A = this chain, B = another copy of it.
Amino acid sequence: MATAPLNLEADVVELTRDICDIESVSGNEKQLADAIEAALQKYSHLEVIRDGDAIVARTNLGRSNRVVIAGHIDTVPVANNLPVQMLSMEREQVLYGRGTVDMKAGVAVQLKLAATLTQPTSDVTWIFYDHEEVEAAKNGLGRLARNRPELLDASFAVLCEPTSAQVEGGCNGTMRVDLTFSGVKAHSARPWMGKNAIHGAANALAILADYQPAEIDVDGLVYRESLNAVLIGGGIATNVIPDECVVTVNYRFAPSKSAADAESHLREVFAGMEMTVMDVAEGARPGLDRAEAKAFVAATQTEARPKYGWTDVARFSALGVPAVNFGPGDPSKAHADDEAVPVSQIYACEKALRAWLSVG
Protein backbone atom coordinates (compact mmCIF):
# COMPACT_ATOMS: atom_id res chain seq x y z
CA MET A 1 0.00 0.00 0.00
CA ALA A 2 1.38 3.41 -0.96
CA THR A 3 1.19 5.93 1.86
CA ALA A 4 1.40 9.72 1.81
CA PRO A 5 4.87 10.82 3.01
CA LEU A 6 5.00 11.52 6.74
CA ASN A 7 5.06 15.20 7.63
CA LEU A 8 7.37 15.28 10.66
CA GLU A 9 6.72 18.97 11.22
CA ALA A 10 2.97 18.55 11.61
CA ASP A 11 1.26 18.80 14.99
CA VAL A 12 2.60 15.90 17.08
CA VAL A 13 -0.92 14.56 17.70
CA GLU A 14 -1.60 14.47 13.97
CA LEU A 15 1.74 12.75 13.47
CA THR A 16 0.82 10.18 16.13
CA ARG A 17 -2.39 9.51 14.27
CA ASP A 18 -0.59 9.11 10.94
CA ILE A 19 1.92 6.57 12.23
CA CYS A 20 -0.71 4.62 14.20
CA ASP A 21 -2.74 4.22 11.02
CA ILE A 22 0.22 2.53 9.32
CA GLU A 23 -0.36 -0.88 10.91
CA SER A 24 2.96 -2.32 12.12
CA VAL A 25 2.27 -5.39 14.22
CA SER A 26 5.60 -7.08 15.07
CA GLY A 27 7.02 -8.65 11.90
CA ASN A 28 5.13 -6.20 9.68
CA GLU A 29 7.15 -3.04 10.41
CA LYS A 30 8.58 -2.56 6.89
CA GLN A 31 6.05 -0.05 5.59
CA LEU A 32 6.36 2.18 8.64
CA ALA A 33 10.16 1.80 8.72
CA ASP A 34 10.28 2.83 5.05
CA ALA A 35 8.13 5.90 5.74
CA ILE A 36 10.25 6.94 8.74
CA GLU A 37 13.50 6.43 6.84
CA ALA A 38 12.24 8.47 3.85
CA ALA A 39 10.96 11.30 6.07
CA LEU A 40 14.17 11.57 8.12
CA GLN A 41 16.43 11.54 5.05
CA LYS A 42 15.07 14.97 4.08
CA TYR A 43 16.91 16.56 7.02
CA SER A 44 20.53 17.45 6.37
CA HIS A 45 21.34 17.71 10.11
CA LEU A 46 20.69 13.96 10.50
CA GLU A 47 22.78 10.96 9.47
CA VAL A 48 20.31 8.14 8.73
CA ILE A 49 21.34 4.48 9.10
CA ARG A 50 19.15 1.45 8.55
CA ASP A 51 19.53 -2.05 10.00
CA GLY A 52 16.69 -4.35 9.02
CA ASP A 53 13.57 -2.43 10.02
CA ALA A 54 15.42 -0.33 12.60
CA ILE A 55 16.24 3.26 11.70
CA VAL A 56 18.94 5.28 13.43
CA ALA A 57 19.15 9.06 12.83
CA ARG A 58 21.84 11.05 14.57
CA THR A 59 23.25 14.52 14.77
CA ASN A 60 27.02 14.94 14.53
CA LEU A 61 27.45 18.44 15.92
CA GLY A 62 30.58 17.74 17.94
CA ARG A 63 28.78 18.29 21.25
CA SER A 64 30.59 17.27 24.42
CA ASN A 65 28.09 14.56 25.12
CA ARG A 66 25.64 12.35 23.26
CA VAL A 67 22.27 11.00 24.35
CA VAL A 68 20.15 8.24 22.87
CA ILE A 69 16.38 8.61 22.58
CA ALA A 70 14.78 5.35 21.52
CA GLY A 71 11.41 3.79 20.84
CA HIS A 72 10.00 0.73 19.13
CA ILE A 73 7.73 1.03 16.11
CA ASP A 74 5.92 -2.33 16.35
CA THR A 75 2.69 -3.02 18.22
CA VAL A 76 0.82 -6.01 19.55
CA PRO A 77 -1.95 -7.31 17.26
CA VAL A 78 -4.72 -4.93 16.30
CA ALA A 79 -8.02 -5.50 18.14
CA ASN A 80 -10.43 -3.92 15.70
CA ASN A 81 -9.07 -0.59 17.00
CA LEU A 82 -7.58 0.98 13.88
CA PRO A 83 -7.74 3.55 12.38
CA VAL A 84 -7.36 5.60 15.53
CA GLN A 85 -10.13 7.91 16.65
CA MET A 86 -10.06 11.18 18.50
CA LEU A 87 -12.46 10.90 21.42
CA SER A 88 -13.44 12.89 24.47
CA MET A 89 -13.06 10.74 27.56
CA GLU A 90 -13.58 11.99 31.08
CA ARG A 91 -13.29 15.58 29.91
CA GLU A 92 -10.02 15.01 28.12
CA GLN A 93 -9.17 14.48 24.47
CA VAL A 94 -7.65 11.09 23.78
CA LEU A 95 -6.36 9.29 20.73
CA TYR A 96 -7.94 5.85 20.86
CA GLY A 97 -6.52 2.83 19.06
CA ARG A 98 -3.75 0.26 18.79
CA GLY A 99 -0.29 1.68 19.36
CA THR A 100 -1.40 5.04 20.74
CA VAL A 101 0.06 4.18 24.17
CA ASP A 102 2.60 1.48 23.33
CA MET A 103 4.27 3.43 21.87
CA LYS A 104 3.58 5.43 18.76
CA ALA A 105 2.79 8.67 20.60
CA GLY A 106 6.32 8.44 22.00
CA VAL A 107 7.69 7.68 18.52
CA ALA A 108 5.82 10.71 17.13
CA VAL A 109 7.45 12.93 19.78
CA GLN A 110 10.85 11.51 18.78
CA LEU A 111 10.20 12.12 15.08
CA LYS A 112 8.94 15.66 15.56
CA LEU A 113 11.98 16.58 17.69
CA ALA A 114 14.44 14.79 15.39
CA ALA A 115 13.16 16.87 12.47
CA THR A 116 12.80 20.21 14.18
CA LEU A 117 15.62 20.29 16.76
CA THR A 118 18.42 21.10 14.36
CA GLN A 119 20.73 22.43 17.09
CA PRO A 120 20.24 20.31 20.22
CA THR A 121 22.64 21.06 23.07
CA SER A 122 23.73 17.42 23.17
CA ASP A 123 24.31 15.28 20.13
CA VAL A 124 21.31 12.99 19.81
CA THR A 125 21.02 9.46 18.44
CA TRP A 126 17.36 8.83 17.61
CA ILE A 127 16.53 5.11 17.41
CA PHE A 128 13.35 3.63 15.95
CA TYR A 129 13.39 -0.17 16.22
CA ASP A 130 11.41 -3.28 15.38
CA HIS A 131 10.28 -6.45 17.12
CA GLU A 132 9.96 -5.25 20.70
CA GLU A 133 6.60 -6.94 21.36
CA VAL A 134 7.81 -10.48 20.60
CA GLU A 135 10.49 -12.88 21.84
CA ALA A 136 13.66 -11.16 23.02
CA ALA A 137 15.82 -12.88 20.37
CA LYS A 138 14.12 -10.81 17.63
CA ASN A 139 14.36 -7.44 19.43
CA GLY A 140 15.67 -4.76 17.07
CA LEU A 141 17.51 -2.84 19.81
CA GLY A 142 19.23 -6.07 20.86
CA ARG A 143 20.20 -6.66 17.22
CA LEU A 144 21.69 -3.14 16.98
CA ALA A 145 23.59 -3.74 20.21
CA ARG A 146 25.11 -6.89 18.66
CA ASN A 147 25.68 -5.57 15.08
CA ARG A 148 26.48 -1.90 15.67
CA PRO A 149 27.17 -1.38 19.38
CA GLU A 150 28.85 1.98 18.60
CA LEU A 151 25.43 3.33 17.57
CA LEU A 152 24.25 2.94 21.16
CA ASP A 153 27.19 4.83 22.70
CA ALA A 154 25.86 7.63 24.90
CA SER A 155 26.18 9.15 28.34
CA PHE A 156 22.43 8.81 28.92
CA ALA A 157 19.45 7.20 27.24
CA VAL A 158 15.73 7.86 27.26
CA LEU A 159 13.26 5.21 26.18
CA CYS A 160 9.93 6.76 25.20
CA GLU A 161 7.85 3.88 26.59
CA PRO A 162 4.58 5.04 28.21
CA THR A 163 5.04 6.44 31.71
CA SER A 164 2.12 8.90 31.84
CA ALA A 165 4.71 11.58 30.97
CA GLN A 166 6.60 11.00 34.23
CA VAL A 167 10.19 9.89 34.53
CA GLU A 168 10.30 6.21 35.43
CA GLY A 169 13.74 5.01 36.37
CA GLY A 170 15.25 1.61 35.67
CA CYS A 171 13.07 -1.47 35.84
CA ASN A 172 12.52 -4.57 37.89
CA GLY A 173 14.09 -7.81 36.71
CA THR A 174 11.89 -10.76 35.83
CA MET A 175 12.39 -14.48 36.39
CA ARG A 176 10.10 -17.31 35.39
CA VAL A 177 10.34 -20.68 37.09
CA ASP A 178 8.39 -23.90 36.81
CA LEU A 179 7.53 -25.79 40.00
CA THR A 180 6.89 -29.41 39.13
CA PHE A 181 4.98 -31.72 41.47
CA SER A 182 5.09 -35.42 40.77
CA GLY A 183 2.65 -38.11 41.79
CA VAL A 184 1.64 -41.61 40.83
CA LYS A 185 -1.25 -42.31 38.48
CA ALA A 186 -4.13 -44.47 39.67
CA HIS A 187 -7.80 -44.91 38.88
CA SER A 188 -9.69 -42.21 40.77
CA ALA A 189 -11.95 -44.90 42.29
CA ARG A 190 -8.89 -46.22 44.17
CA PRO A 191 -6.81 -43.10 44.78
CA TRP A 192 -4.93 -44.73 47.65
CA MET A 193 -3.08 -46.77 44.99
CA GLY A 194 -1.55 -43.52 43.67
CA LYS A 195 -0.33 -40.10 44.79
CA ASN A 196 -2.09 -36.91 43.79
CA ALA A 197 0.29 -34.40 42.19
CA ILE A 198 -2.28 -31.57 42.22
CA HIS A 199 -2.69 -31.98 45.99
CA GLY A 200 1.12 -31.87 46.10
CA ALA A 201 0.97 -28.30 44.76
CA ALA A 202 -1.22 -27.09 47.66
CA ASN A 203 1.71 -25.85 49.71
CA ALA A 204 3.19 -23.89 46.79
CA LEU A 205 -0.12 -22.09 46.22
CA ALA A 206 -0.40 -21.36 49.94
CA ILE A 207 3.11 -19.87 49.91
CA LEU A 208 2.22 -17.73 46.87
CA ALA A 209 -1.07 -16.57 48.34
CA ASP A 210 0.64 -15.57 51.60
CA TYR A 211 3.82 -14.10 50.10
CA GLN A 212 4.66 -10.58 51.26
CA PRO A 213 6.65 -8.94 48.48
CA ALA A 214 9.56 -6.72 49.41
CA GLU A 215 9.86 -3.02 48.63
CA ILE A 216 13.47 -2.20 47.94
CA ASP A 217 15.16 1.18 47.71
CA VAL A 218 17.56 1.41 44.77
CA ASP A 219 19.29 4.72 44.02
CA GLY A 220 16.50 6.56 45.82
CA LEU A 221 13.56 4.84 44.13
CA VAL A 222 11.47 2.20 45.89
CA TYR A 223 10.89 -0.91 43.76
CA ARG A 224 7.91 -3.05 44.63
CA GLU A 225 8.61 -6.72 43.96
CA SER A 226 6.00 -9.38 43.21
CA LEU A 227 5.67 -13.15 43.03
CA ASN A 228 2.79 -14.69 41.14
CA ALA A 229 1.61 -17.95 39.68
CA VAL A 230 0.87 -17.17 36.04
CA LEU A 231 0.02 -20.65 34.78
CA ILE A 232 -1.02 -23.92 36.38
CA GLY A 233 -1.75 -27.24 34.73
CA GLY A 234 -2.19 -30.80 35.89
CA GLY A 235 -4.21 -33.93 35.32
CA ILE A 236 -4.84 -36.37 32.50
CA ALA A 237 -8.49 -37.35 32.65
CA THR A 238 -11.40 -37.02 35.03
CA ASN A 239 -11.00 -40.60 36.29
CA VAL A 240 -7.25 -40.64 36.81
CA ILE A 241 -5.27 -39.47 39.84
CA PRO A 242 -2.86 -36.93 38.30
CA ASP A 243 0.84 -37.75 38.26
CA GLU A 244 2.07 -34.25 37.42
CA CYS A 245 1.16 -30.65 38.20
CA VAL A 246 3.24 -27.70 37.01
CA VAL A 247 2.95 -24.21 38.49
CA THR A 248 4.64 -21.46 36.46
CA VAL A 249 5.71 -18.58 38.68
CA ASN A 250 6.83 -15.08 37.69
CA TYR A 251 9.10 -13.22 40.10
CA ARG A 252 9.64 -9.50 39.51
CA PHE A 253 12.72 -8.50 41.46
CA ALA A 254 14.34 -5.19 42.30
CA PRO A 255 17.19 -4.01 40.04
CA SER A 256 19.61 -4.24 42.95
CA LYS A 257 19.39 -8.04 42.69
CA SER A 258 21.24 -10.20 40.21
CA ALA A 259 19.67 -13.20 38.46
CA ALA A 260 21.58 -15.40 40.92
CA ASP A 261 20.16 -13.46 43.88
CA ALA A 262 16.65 -13.88 42.50
CA GLU A 263 17.09 -17.61 41.96
CA SER A 264 18.50 -18.15 45.42
CA HIS A 265 15.56 -16.27 46.95
CA LEU A 266 13.09 -18.48 45.08
CA ARG A 267 14.97 -21.65 46.08
CA GLU A 268 14.53 -20.53 49.68
CA VAL A 269 10.84 -19.65 49.26
CA PHE A 270 10.08 -22.96 47.52
CA ALA A 271 12.51 -25.08 49.57
CA GLY A 272 12.09 -28.78 48.99
CA MET A 273 10.19 -28.33 45.73
CA GLU A 274 11.40 -29.19 42.24
CA MET A 275 12.12 -25.80 40.65
CA THR A 276 13.48 -25.06 37.17
CA VAL A 277 14.44 -21.56 35.99
CA MET A 278 12.83 -21.12 32.55
CA ASP A 279 13.70 -17.51 31.77
CA VAL A 280 15.38 -14.55 33.41
CA ALA A 281 16.15 -10.92 32.57
CA GLU A 282 17.91 -8.75 35.10
CA GLY A 283 16.49 -5.32 35.87
CA ALA A 284 18.06 -1.92 35.36
CA ARG A 285 19.15 0.39 38.15
CA PRO A 286 17.53 3.78 37.74
CA GLY A 287 20.86 5.60 37.77
CA LEU A 288 19.13 8.65 39.22
CA ASP A 289 22.22 9.35 41.30
CA ARG A 290 24.03 10.24 38.06
CA ALA A 291 24.38 13.85 36.94
CA GLU A 292 22.84 13.17 33.50
CA ALA A 293 19.75 11.66 35.09
CA LYS A 294 19.44 14.51 37.60
CA ALA A 295 19.68 17.00 34.75
CA PHE A 296 16.99 15.17 32.82
CA VAL A 297 14.60 15.13 35.77
CA ALA A 298 15.25 18.82 36.38
CA ALA A 299 14.80 19.84 32.75
CA THR A 300 11.59 17.85 32.32
CA GLN A 301 10.19 19.17 35.62
CA THR A 302 8.80 15.79 36.65
CA GLU A 303 9.26 13.59 39.68
CA ALA A 304 11.01 10.27 39.14
CA ARG A 305 9.16 7.02 39.93
CA PRO A 306 10.27 3.39 39.69
CA LYS A 307 9.37 1.40 36.56
CA TYR A 308 7.89 -1.99 37.32
CA GLY A 309 7.63 -3.61 33.91
CA TRP A 310 10.83 -4.85 32.33
CA THR A 311 11.74 -2.61 29.42
CA ASP A 312 14.62 -2.17 27.03
CA VAL A 313 16.23 0.30 29.45
CA ALA A 314 17.85 -2.86 30.80
CA ARG A 315 19.71 -3.23 27.48
CA PHE A 316 21.26 0.23 27.99
CA SER A 317 21.96 -0.58 31.61
CA ALA A 318 23.83 -3.70 30.48
CA LEU A 319 25.93 -1.51 28.14
CA GLY A 320 26.75 0.81 31.06
CA VAL A 321 24.47 3.61 29.80
CA PRO A 322 22.10 4.98 32.45
CA ALA A 323 18.59 5.09 31.05
CA VAL A 324 15.10 6.15 32.02
CA ASN A 325 11.62 5.66 30.61
CA PHE A 326 9.70 8.77 29.67
CA GLY A 327 6.73 8.84 27.35
CA PRO A 328 3.05 9.64 26.92
CA GLY A 329 0.31 7.19 27.92
CA ASP A 330 -0.68 5.11 30.93
CA PRO A 331 1.39 1.90 30.87
CA SER A 332 -1.56 -0.07 32.25
CA LYS A 333 -3.39 0.70 28.98
CA ALA A 334 -0.61 -0.84 26.88
CA HIS A 335 -1.92 -3.90 24.96
CA ALA A 336 -5.46 -3.21 26.17
CA ASP A 337 -8.28 -3.30 23.65
CA ASP A 338 -9.22 0.21 24.81
CA GLU A 339 -5.68 1.54 24.42
CA ALA A 340 -5.89 5.34 24.37
CA VAL A 341 -3.48 8.21 25.10
CA PRO A 342 -4.44 11.66 26.42
CA VAL A 343 -3.26 14.19 23.86
CA SER A 344 -2.12 16.50 26.68
CA GLN A 345 0.55 13.93 27.59
CA ILE A 346 1.87 13.86 24.03
CA TYR A 347 2.31 17.64 24.07
CA ALA A 348 3.83 17.49 27.58
CA CYS A 349 6.46 14.98 26.49
CA GLU A 350 7.29 16.97 23.38
CA LYS A 351 7.70 20.11 25.48
CA ALA A 352 9.77 18.43 28.19
CA LEU A 353 12.19 16.71 25.83
CA ARG A 354 12.55 19.87 23.77
CA ALA A 355 13.39 21.81 26.94
CA TRP A 356 15.94 19.22 28.01
CA LEU A 357 17.67 19.19 24.61
CA SER A 358 17.73 22.99 24.55
CA VAL A 359 19.34 23.69 27.95
CA GLY A 360 22.80 25.22 27.71
A256 at interface by CB-CB < 8 Å: no
Q: A191-B226, A202-B205 are in contact. Are A239 and B250 (CB under 8 A)?
A: yes
**Could you tell me if B245 and A232 are in contact, using CB atoms closer than 8 angstroms?**
yes
A262 at interface by CB-CB < 8 Å: no
A52 at interface by CB-CB < 8 Å: no
- Measured between beta carbons, the chain B residues less than 8 angstroms from A186 are 332
Q: Specify which of B190, B206, B230, B240 is in contact with A202 (CB 8 Å cutoff).
A: B206
Q: Specify which of B190, B230, B310 is in contact with A241 (CB 8 Å cutoff).
A: B230
A182 CB to closest chain B CB (Å) equals 15
* CB nearest to A308 among chain B residues: B189
Q: Specify which of B196, B228, B235 is in contact with A188 (CB 8 Å cutoff).
A: B228
**Could you tell me if A231 and B242 are in contact, using CB atoms closer than 8 angstroms?**
yes
- Measured between beta carbons, the chain B residues less than 8 angstroms from A237 are 230-231
Q: Please classify the interface of chain A as helix (H, G, I), strand (E, B), loop, or mixed, using the class held by over half of its residues.
A: mixed
**Could you tell me if A188 and B242 are in contact, using CB atoms closer than 8 angstroms?**
no
* CB nearest to A229 among chain B residues: B198
- Measured between beta carbons, the chain B residues less than 8 angstroms from A201 are 205, 232
A208 at interface by CB-CB < 8 Å: yes
**Could you tell me if A202 and B191 are in contact, using CB atoms closer than 8 angstroms?**
no
A63 CB to closest chain B CB (Å) equals 35
* CB nearest to A224 among chain B residues: B192
A222 CB to closest chain B CB (Å) equals 14
A233 at interface by CB-CB < 8 Å: yes
- Measured between beta carbons, the chain B residues less than 8 angstroms from A230 are 188, 198, 235, 237-242
Q: A189-B309, A202-B202 are in contact. Are A250 and B238 (CB under 8 A)?
A: yes
- Measured between beta carbons, the chain B residues less than 8 angstroms from A229 are 196, 198-199, 234-235, 242
7 smallest A-B Cβ distances: which pairs? A231-B235, A189-B309, A202-B205, A198-B229, A202-B209, A199-B209, A189-B308
Chain A residues proximal to chain B, CB less than 8 Å: 172, 174, 176, 186-193, 196, 198-203, 205-206, 208-209, 224, 226, 228-235, 237-242, 245, 247-248, 250, 252, 279, 308-310, 331-332, 334-335
